[in-house]
Structure 1
Amino acid sequence: MQLQFIGVDPNSDIDESPTAWVDLENADIVIQSYTADDATRAQCVQNNAPGHAQLVPDHESVIRVPARLVPILREACDAAERAKL
């Protein structure tokens, strides 16, 4: 796996760092961010995607991405599209 660093939340402290990377082998976007709290997880389960079980599987996580990271995620999406070429 080869990750391309895209960016980190510019307003985060040194010990809090929502970050985005792109996996150059498969163009997946990899995100480090805040673990969602129990209330957010419960809402995700209650408002699940149609046709899917009402649960968050053990191998998945609900994360909260700060709005400040949106420009970095746009850049990550662009990098992911370029990696697919």
Structure 2
Amino acid sequence: MSLQFIGIDPNTGDHESPTVWVDRQNKEIVFQGWKPSADLTAECAAFDVPGHAKGIPENEAVVRIPGRMVHMIREACDAVERADDVS
């Protein structure tokens, strides 16, 4: 995997570090974030999305990313799109 570091929460402390990377090889955005509360996880799992079963599959997870990282997420989106030009 060829991860490209995009950014880390600017308000991170010594023990928390929401982070954004881009996997250029697989053209994916990778997030490290906070684990959600049980209530939020349950709410996400119960959400009715047309064409999808309710619940969170075993190979997926809900993570929380602070809004102050939106610019990093945009940068990661741009980097994934540019990966097409590099491949």
Matched, 1:49 2:35: no
Which residue identity lines up with residue 46 of structure 1 in the other structure? A
**Following superposition, which runs of at least 4 residues in structure 1 exceed 4 angstroms of deviation?**
none
Q: TM-score, normalised by structure 1?
A: 0.93
Tell me the equivalent position of 2:2: 2
1:44-75 CA-to-partner distances (Å, cap 9, x unmatched) read 12213212111111111011111011111111
Which residue identity lines up with residue 30 of structure 1 in the other structure? V
What runs of 5+ residues in structure 2 fail to find an aligned partner?
A: none
Matched, 1:21 2:21: yes
Q: TM-score, normalised by structure 2?
A: 0.91
Cα gap change, 1:48 to 1:63, in 2 (>3 Å): farther
What runs of 5+ residues in structure 1 fail to find an aligned partner?
A: none
Give the alignment's Cα RMSD to 1 decimal: 1.0
Query: Quick check: 1:26–1:84 contact (8 Å CA) kept in 2?
Result: no
Matched, 1:69 2:53: no
What is the CA-CA distance between 1:14 and the residue it aligns to?
2.1
Percent identical among aligned pairs is: 49
